[in-house]
Amino acid sequence: MAGTSPFDLTGRTALVTGANTGIGQGIALALAEAGATVVAAGRSDMSETLALVAQVGGTGHALKVDLQEQGIAARVVAAATDLAGPLDILVNNAGIIRRADALDFSESDWDEVMNVNLKANFFLAQAFAKSAVEAGRGARIVNIASLLSFQGGIRVASYTASKSGLAGLTKLLACEWAARGINVNAIAPGYIESNNTEALRADPDRNSAILARIPAARWGKPSDIGGAAVFLASDAAAYMHGAIIPVDGGWLAR
């Protein structure tokens, strides 16, 4: 039922994890504006996101889910399908970060980050792709990677490992599933104003060092990421497989 624009998502259904705030909320809103029905999944209240979706004339559903939970992925895909019908788009956005020097990094800060940023994303993609393959439906997966899918960073060992892993996983899944009509790609946001970067923005030295390196000379906003997500979810990206697109104000170009 897509309209004439190849970017139109009318009639499509999208599951977005971590959609209550930050980049996930920005993506949920952009997908809704493009016409998709959105299932906003996460562990916190989704009412702000659902209100924003309604404001642009979209349809949204909330799904309570804690991605630290073992074996959760198939249940999330089934519950989202019950709410909104067969899913066309999965945005693996939920993610956490823990900061400590590598010499002091704890096993729990390693495991918790890996569970949400890498393991949950893989098993959500698997459950989502299984339902699409069984139904003979094409589908789109958009993973939210990071600049630390390309760079090392400092004091974020598990985060860098998870996001570098997610870049590899994006390419592997793209290779396995491209011929089955499932496009798997990723967006690598630069430095975006959200809870994730609150500590960096609160540190005057880190804040000015980061700003000085961004060609666009400003932090990004969650809404800056929405356009790339709409593109990757749409027919316009039909031949995109395994790409990791930086949306970073020029950071990686520097």
Ligand X SMILES: NC(=O)c1ccc[n+]([C@@H]2O[C@H](COP(=O)([O-])OP(=O)(O)OC[C@H]3O[C@@H](n4cnc5c(N)ncnc54)[C@H](OP(=O)(O)O)[C@@H]3O)[C@@H](O)[C@H]2O)c1
19 or 132, CB closer to ligand X? 19
CB of 189 to ligand X, least distance (A): 4
**Is 191 a residue of the active site?**
no
Site residues for ligand X per CB under 6 A: 17-18, 20-24, 42-44, 65-68, 93-96, 116, 144, 146, 189, 191-192, 194-197
Residues 32, 236, 131, 95: is their CA dihedral positive or negative?
Answer: negative
CB of 63 to ligand X, least distance (A): 10
Task: Quickly count: other Cβ atoms within 10 Å of residue 82's Cβ.
Answer: 11
Q: What is the DSSP letter of 17?
A: E
34 or 97, CB closer to ligand X? 97
CB of 246 to ligand X, least distance (A): 10
CB of 69 to ligand X, least distance (A): 8
185 or 196, CB closer to ligand X? 196
Q: DSSP of 169-217, one letter per residue?
A: HHHHHHHHHGGGTEEEEEEEE-SBSSGGGHHHHHSHHHHHHHHHH-TT-
Whole-number CA gyration radius for the chain: 17
20 or 164, CB closer to ligand X? 20
CB of 183 to ligand X, least distance (A): 19
Distances in whole angstroms, Cα of residue 134 to Cα of each of 73, 128, 137, 139, 141: 17, 10, 8, 12, 16
Which listed residue (123, 150, 159, 191) is catalytic?
159
Residue 145 tokens read as 């990677």
Confirm if 150 and 206 have CB atoms less than 8 A apart: no
Distances in whole angstroms, Cα of residue 10 to Cα of each of 23, 35, 59, 161, 244: 22, 4, 11, 36, 25
178 or 210, CB closer to ligand X? 210
In angstroms, the CA 246 to CA 25 distance is 19
Could you list the active site residues? 159
